[in-house]
Amino acid sequence: MNPLTHVAIIMDGNGRWGLKYKNSRNAGHKAGLITVEKIIKESIKNKIQFLTLYAFSTENWKRPKKEVKFLFSLLENFLKDKIDDLNKQKIKLKIIGKKNFSLNLNKLLIISEKKTSKNKRLQINLALNYGSKAELINAFKELKKNKETINEKNIRKYLQTKNIPDPDILIRTGNTKRLSNFLLWQAAYSEIFFEKKLWPDFNEKNYNKIIKNYKNIKRNFGNI
C-alpha cells in the first residue's frame, strides 16, 4: 500500500454549480467553501500531512472584478472566522503564490500564517495568486542572480513548495482534464485523478474512494 503524505486539489466547478442551482457563480464559490471544510476534516482523518488547495491562479485576475472581489471577501471572512479554530486543531496554514492583494488581506494572511506556524497535524498550502510558470521563472532568476548551478536540488530550493514533499495525489474536480498552471514541476510523479463532480458536489465519499484507489496503484517512478 502506498503511503500518502500530500494531496493537491484543483477545486474546479464552483461557477458552473452556482449558475446551475442558484443562478449566481458567486453562490458556487460560497458552496465550494463548505466542501473545503469537509475535505480538511477528512484529510485529518486520513492522517494526511499536506493538503494543497488551488484557490486563485495568476490567470484568475482576468475574471470580472465583482467575482474577484467576492472570492477575496470570502477568503477574508473565512480566515477571520476560522483561523483560531484551525489553530486549535493544530493546522498550519501556508500561502503559496505572491501575496499582492489589498493591504488588509496581505496582513491577515501573514498573521494567519504566523499564528499557525508551529502546528504539525496538517499543513494546508493555500495557492493564491499562484502560477507554476511564474514560480519557475522566479526560481531560475534566483539561480542566475546567485550564480548557482542549474540542477534539481537547486531549483527546488527556490520553489514556493520548498520543504514540502511533492504531491502523491493530484485531484481535479469539475470534469475537465488539464493542470491549469498548477504545480507543474511538483506533479511530475503525482497520481492524477480527474473527477466528474463539480467542486461543491465533491464529498468525503468521493475523496476516500480516490485515496483507496491511490493506495493500490503500483508506483514505479520510472523504474519497472
Catalytic residues: 12, 60
> Which residue, 52 or 139, has its beta carbon nearer to ligand FPP?
52
For residue 55, the SS3 value is: strand
Strand (E) or helix (H) holding 169: strand 169-172
- Residue found by looking up cell 498548477 in the block: 182
> Which residue, 39 or 139, has its beta carbon nearer to ligand FPP?
39
Q: Name the one range near ligand FPP by CB under 6 A: 68-76, 94-102, 112-120, 157-165.
A: 68-76
Q: Name the one range near ligand FPP by CB under 6 A: 28-36, 106-114, 138-146, 181-189.
A: 28-36
Which residues have a Cβ under 8 Å from the Cβ of 10 and sit 6 or more positions away?
A: 54, 170, 171, 172, 173, 174, 179, 180, 182
Is the sign of the CA dihedral 176, 48, 222, 133 positive or negative?
positive
- Residue 33, interface with ligand FPP (CB under 6 A)? yes
Residues 27/150, Cβ–Cβ less than 8 Å: no
Find the binder of ligand FPP among 4, 9, 11, 96 (CB under 6 A). Answer: 11
> Which residue, 53 or 169, has its beta carbon nearer to ligand FPP?
53
- Residues of the shown chain interacting with ligand FPP in the complex, contacts defined by CB under 6 A: 11-16, 29, 32-33, 36, 55, 60, 71, 74-75, 78, 126, 174, 199
